[in-house]
Structure 1
């Protein structure tokens, strides 16, 4: 179960960090800036991806083994 929660958490964290990296360095990385729907809101969308990533990591760690 930890892996089931960890994979989307890692993906969300990666995309959020890459979105922030794009906003501050103008490198074309990540998925957030490629979505036309989010024009002008890339920083908020990237932050909104990072927060649930940590929630998923916390949920994965709270699961009992087995």
Structure 2
């Protein structure tokens, strides 16, 4: 069974979005809890003031969901 190793543009975009959301959320949580520098500081503009912890947790969960959806899209296209 031959598989096509190239990903569709939508699957590649979902992978990038997954990476940005998960890494940005983890970076934001580390900054909030430990005061470390922000790795992806631009994501702080996506979170409302006063809801930083909740917002970063939601961002991580959304990133994981986008990653799972993109993986399912890639698997479905490979059939």
* Shorter-chain TM-score range: 0.7 to 0.9
SS at match of 2:50: coil
Distance 1:42 1:28 in 2: 15
How high is the TM-score relative to the length of structure 2? 0.68
How high is the TM-score relative to the length of structure 1? 0.79
User: Where does the alignment leave 5 or more consecutive residues of structure 1 unmatched?
Assistant: none
Instruction: Give 1:55 deviation, angstroms.
Output: 0.8
Work out which of the residue numbers 63, 71, 74 in structure 2 matches 1:53. Answer: 63
Instruction: Give 1:39 deviation, angstroms.
Output: 2.4
User: Where does the alignment leave 5 or more consecutive residues of structure 2 unmatched?
Assistant: 1-7
Rg larger for: 2
Runs of 4+ with deviation above 6 angstroms: none
Cross-structure match for 1:24 = 33
How many equivalent residue pairs? Answer: 64
Cross-structure match for 1:44 = 54
Q: RMSD across aligned C-alpha pairs, in angstroms?
A: 2.0
The answer to whether the aligner puts 1:65 opposite 2:74 as a matched pair is: no
Q: Cα 1:39–1:28, aligned 2, differ >3 Å: closer, same or farther?
A: farther
